[in-house]
Chains A and B, each alone.
Chain A
């Protein structure tokens, strides 16, 4: 398990942001890189690799990786729908959106479709309350969700997957 040259250069650049000897500060950003690079989740090997890169004890990495909700410690589907369910989104009907996605994809919250395409998660407030209901998909937010919009997003994902993106 090894980062690409490009990613290793990025790691170096990140470490250089901090004073000498404070490379532990790079842990969160480097874990993000590792998750991107190694299939969307952090295996024990991936975390151990990050530990060795930053000269940390593996437990220091496990402690951090398990604390933050954005690190996946289990494999996830190609597309992860992270639907916000906190108050402001609830007021705008997020419960219905979650139910609808469950029904359309035929999975429960926390599950991945058998084809490995979609994972459904519920999350707590993502700071898009004025654009509710919403979900995060990868790097971006999908906002003002309606059932129709959910259908479109699912179709879009399938199209992209079929096109090999």
Chain B
């Protein structure tokens, strides 16, 4: 059983309510931080913890905080990124639904560290009911003196507000999120300047993911050094993984990053194996934009080592033979699933979610979707596969924001590892219409159970 820091209490009956949360030891981190630590000491602990951003990029949180500009007389803002929209990812939702006070507590401590007196939670518009849950938690926290003016007599003032988005994946990108919070279209900004210097209303701003900010609570409670002992290497602490696709037990699991991918998929504690007794074909381990890996490369690295569920091991081999931890959206495909069709849905997703601001993404995402559509529906040509490769190559790295990369990588990885499945579609135009799956031979050498 791995250690749990975030979801340990998530299933205590009534934990959504303040009284239960407090009885279970909640808000101890706020007390500790505000009463015994300076803001810089809090940041120092976060640095020591080795916590890396849980939204997908994995950037060290303490370092991000230390970049925040602190000019005199200019307000600073902390914004919580709850615009969870990466396909395969639903961990933040789970955390906010089950244990909202953990996020609020993390936000208060983080706001104190960063000097944010007005903190926003930007939540995706579709999570409408979670807004109510969060607003209730905020009201309870305020009633009990954890928010408002002069918190715990320390002179620190803080309010937290929940802002609902309205349906746009791109607003998960931090500068698009800020634009949206300012009441504008979610067009990412051209950087520099970075939000740490010029963010919300042109003031210094830190944008952090829900899980990242929640993790600040155990970091303060345990101390950064203790937290850093959990996990391995630069993958410290615990990580929420949202597992979905063709597995027996889809859901959100908190792992310490020392377990293997194989254990995660097949053990009953986690995914419980592939559904319907099928075999594992492929997996996207970190949300739809990271490279898909065929089963053999998923379970073992190219060097033949066991692949582990942590930042370093998942990215071992680069994009040639590895993938990324990303947001922790773990999408599993069984032997009957068609990689072309799956890639098509992702290409459609990115086309739909492109803001349209810069040319490679606006035009390239739609083009890739159209070609994939042709291939999937028996109208593809062999040259289309190379064309797809060339298009994704020309999008990647050439756009304003990472959505371009996010759109390019799934297509690239699908072709890289499953090229013969694309070719099969081109060669078997009739059969690929009647059979909604690809080549079962990928699954042949793979075990049914670990």
- Residues in B whose Cβ lies below 8 Å from that of A46: none
CA distance A131 to B249 in the complex (A): 10
A152 CB to closest chain B CB, in angstroms? 20
Tell me if A154 counts as interface (CB < 8 A to partner B).
no
CA distance A63 to B85 in the complex (A): 22
Tell me if A76 counts as interface (CB < 8 A to partner B).
no
Q: At the interface with chain A, which of B34-42, B231-239, B296-304, B347-355?
A: B347-355
CA distance A29 to B118 in the complex (A): 17
In the complex, the chain A residue whose C-beta lies closest to that of B249 is: A130
Residue-wise, chain B 118-161 has the 8 Å CB interface mask toward A (1 for contact) of 10000011111100000000000000000000000000000101
- Residues in B whose Cβ lies below 8 Å from that of A28: 125, 163-166, 180, 183
A121 CB to closest chain B CB, in angstroms? 11
Instruction: Judge whether B250 and A130 touch: CB under 8 Å.
Output: yes
Q: At the interface with chain A, which of B15-23, B308-316, B337-345?
A: B337-345
Residue-wise, chain B 274-318 has the 8 Å CB interface mask toward A (1 for contact) of 000000000010001000000000000000000000000000000
Interface range on chain B (Cβ under 8 Å from partner): 35 or more
CA distance A87 to B93 in the complex (A): 19
- Residues in A whose Cβ lies below 8 Å from that of B26: none
- What are 19 A-B residue pairs whose CB atoms fall within 8 Å in the complex? A17-B159, A24-B182, A25-B183, A54-B183, A60-B183, A67-B168, A69-B167, A70-B126, A85-B348, A86-B345, A88-B288, A91-B337, A92-B244, A125-B169, A126-B126, A129-B250, A130-B250, A132-B250, A139-B129
- Residues in A whose Cβ lies below 8 Å from that of B185: 63-64, 67
List residues 44-87 of chain A with CB under 8 A from any CB of chain B. Answer: 54, 60, 63-64, 67-71, 85-87
Given A124-B169, A130-B244, A132-B244; A88-B352 close (CB under 8 Å): no
Given A22-B201, A130-B250; A86-B244 close (CB under 8 Å): no
Instruction: Judge whether A29 and B163 touch: CB under 8 Å.
Output: yes
Given A19-B201, A69-B167, A70-B167; A124-B342 close (CB under 8 Å): no
- Residues in A whose Cβ lies below 8 Å from that of B250: 129-132
Tell me if A146 counts as interface (CB < 8 A to partner B).
no
Instruction: Judge whether B345 and A129 touch: CB under 8 Å.
Output: no
Tell me if A153 counts as interface (CB < 8 A to partner B).
no
Instruction: Judge whether A68 and B245 touch: CB under 8 Å.
Output: no
Q: A residues near B, CB below 8 A?
A: 17, 19, 22, 24-29, 31-32, 54, 60, 63-64, 67-71, 85-88, 90-92, 123-132, 136, 139-140
Residue of A87, A123, A128, A129 with highest tally of chain B CB at under 10 A: A87
Across chains A and B, which 9 residue pairs bring their CB atoms closest together, nearest first? Answer: A68-B166, A69-B167, A27-B183, A70-B167, A130-B250, A129-B244, A24-B183, A125-B87, A67-B185
Instruction: Judge whether A67 and B346 touch: CB under 8 Å.
Output: no
Given A68-B168, A87-B342, A127-B127; A19-B75 close (CB under 8 Å): yes
B207 CB to closest chain A CB, in angstroms? 15
Q: Which of A32, A60, A124, A125 contacts B125 (CB 8 A)?
A: A32
In the complex, the chain B residue whose C-beta lies closest to that of A128 is: B90
- Residues in B whose Cβ lies below 8 Å from that of A124: 87, 169, 348-349, 352-353
Q: B residues near A, CB below 8 A?
A: 75, 84-90, 93, 118, 124-129, 159, 161, 163-169, 180-186, 201, 242-246, 250-252, 284, 288, 329, 331, 333, 337, 341-342, 345-346, 348-349, 352-353, 355
- Residues in A whose Cβ lies below 8 Å from that of B337: 91
- Residues in B whose Cβ lies below 8 Å from that of A64: 183-185
Instruction: Judge whether B124 and A127 touch: CB under 8 Å.
Output: yes
In the complex, the chain A residue whose C-beta lies closest to that of B203 is: A19
- Residues in A whose Cβ lies below 8 Å from that of B161: 17
- Residues in A whose Cβ lies below 8 Å from that of B125: 28, 32, 68, 70
- Residues in B whose Cβ lies below 8 Å from that of A136: 126
CA distance A87 to B282 in the complex (A): 13
- Residues in A whose Cβ lies below 8 Å from that of B126: 70, 126-127, 136
Instruction: Judge whether A127 and B85 touch: CB under 8 Å.
Output: yes
Residue of B124, B128, B169, B186 with highest tally of chain A CB at under 10 A: B128
A74 CB to closest chain B CB, in angstroms? 15
Given A70-B126, A132-B250; A91-B163 close (CB under 8 Å): no
B290 CB to closest chain A CB, in angstroms? 12
Q: Which of A70, A92, A129, A139 contacts B87 (CB 8 A)?
A: A129
Q: Which of A31, A54, A86, A91 contacts B349 (CB 8 A)?
A: A86
CA distance A143 to B176 in the complex (A): 29
CA distance A91 to B201 in the complex (A): 42
CA distance A54 to B182 in the complex (A): 13
In the complex, the chain B residue whose C-beta lies closest to that of A90 is: B345
Instruction: Judge whether B167 and A129 touch: CB under 8 Å.
Output: no
A26 CB to closest chain B CB, in angstroms? 7
Instruction: Judge whether A87 and B331 touch: CB under 8 Å.
Output: yes
A4 CB to closest chain B CB, in angstroms? 20
Instruction: Judge whether A88 and B87 touch: CB under 8 Å.
Output: yes
B434 CB to closest chain A CB, in angstroms? 14
In the complex, the chain B residue whose C-beta lies closest to that of A28 is: B166
Q: Which of B127, B169, B349 contacts A87 (CB 8 A)?
A: B349
Instruction: Judge whether A69 and B87 touch: CB under 8 Å.
Output: no
Instruction: Judge whether B346 and A32 touch: CB under 8 Å.
Output: no
B400 CB to closest chain A CB, in angstroms? 16
- Residues in B whose Cβ lies below 8 Å from that of A69: 166-168, 352
Given A19-B75, A124-B349; A88-B165 close (CB under 8 Å): no
- Residues in B whose Cβ lies below 8 Å from that of A19: 75, 118, 201
